Structure 1
Amino acid sequence: MAATTDAQSKWEFSCELEVNLGSQEHAQIIYTALSVDKELQPDKVKRVMSASDGKLLVHFEATEARFLRASFSAFVDVLTLATKTIEEFGPVIEV
C-alpha cells in the first residue's frame, strides 16, 4: 500500500492544455502527428493526449515544476509547428 502512495505523490505538478482546432479532422491529424513523440524523461514527466469534438486535450504531470515547464514548452513549440503546417498545406474545412 505504501508503494502506491509513493507513486501517486511522485507526480506533484500537473497542468491541462485544451486547444480548439476547429474540426475533428484537424484535431485527429495533430493528435496522430504528435502522439509519436514520447517524453524524453518518462520517469519525470507524463503526458496523456486525446482528440475530441475538434479539440486536442493534453494532460501533463511531472515530479518537479521545471520538468513540467520544459515539457509543456517543448510541446507547445511542436504544436505550433503542426498547426501552422495544417493551415498552410492541410485540408480546408468549411465552417
Structure 2
Amino acid sequence: MVWRLHGTSTVNFMRYTLCSNLEVDLGSEENAHIVYTALAVDKELQPDKVKRHMSVSNGKLSVNFEAVEARFLRASFSAFVDVLTLTTKTIEEFGLKKE
C-alpha cells in the first residue's frame, strides 16, 4: 500500500483557499472500491468550511480536500486518515488480496 500526499496553498478571493490531495494505492480496484464505499458514508461535519472529493481509478483512491482555513483542513484530513487507516487495516486483517 503506497500513500502519496500532495498539498498546495493558495491565497485568493474564492471561498476555499487551502487544499490538500491524498493518493493511496490500494493494490487492486476491488480494495479501492471497498475503501471508497466505507469512507463515502462519513460526511464532513462542517461542509460549509471543508469540502472533500473522492475518486477511484486503477486501484488508487484519490482524495481532494478544500478548506477555508488551515485548522479546518488539518482536522478534516487527520480524521479522514484515522478512518482510512482503520479501513486498510481491516482489509489486511481479513485477507483481501492485491492483484
Q: Please give the TM-score of this superposition, normalised by the length of structure 2.
A: 0.84
**Superposition CA RMSD, Å:** 1.1
SS in 2 for 1:86: helix
Tell me which protein shows more strand as a share of its residues. Answer: 2
CA distance in 2 between partners of 1:22 and 1:39 (Å): 27
For structure 1, the residue ranges without an aligned partner over 5 or more in a row are 1-7
**Does residue 58 of the first structure (1) align with residue 50 of the second (2)?**
no
**What's the CA shift string for 1:45-93, capped at 9, x where partnerless?**
0000011100000000000000000000000000000000000114223
Aligned partner of 2:8 in structure 1 is none
Tell me which protein shows more helix as a share of its residues. Answer: 1
**What's the CA shift string for 1:16-58, capped at 9, x where partnerless?**
0000000000000000000000000000000000111000000
**Does residue 35 of the first structure (1) align with residue 40 of the second (2)?**
yes
**Does residue 14 of the first structure (1) align with residue 40 of the second (2)?**
no
CA distance in 1 between partners of 2:30 and 2:91 (Å): 11
Structure 1 counterpart of 2:66, which letter?
E
**Percentage of matched positions with identical amino acids:** 70
Structure 1 counterpart of 2:43, which letter?
K
CA distance in 2 between partners of 1:91 and 1:15 (Å): 29
For structure 2, the residue ranges without an aligned partner over 5 or more in a row are 1-12
> How many corresponding residue pairs?
87
SS in 2 for 1:60: strand
| Structure of higher CA gyration radius | 1
**Deviation at residue 10 of structure 1 after TM alignment:** 1.1
4+ runs deviating over 4 angstroms: none
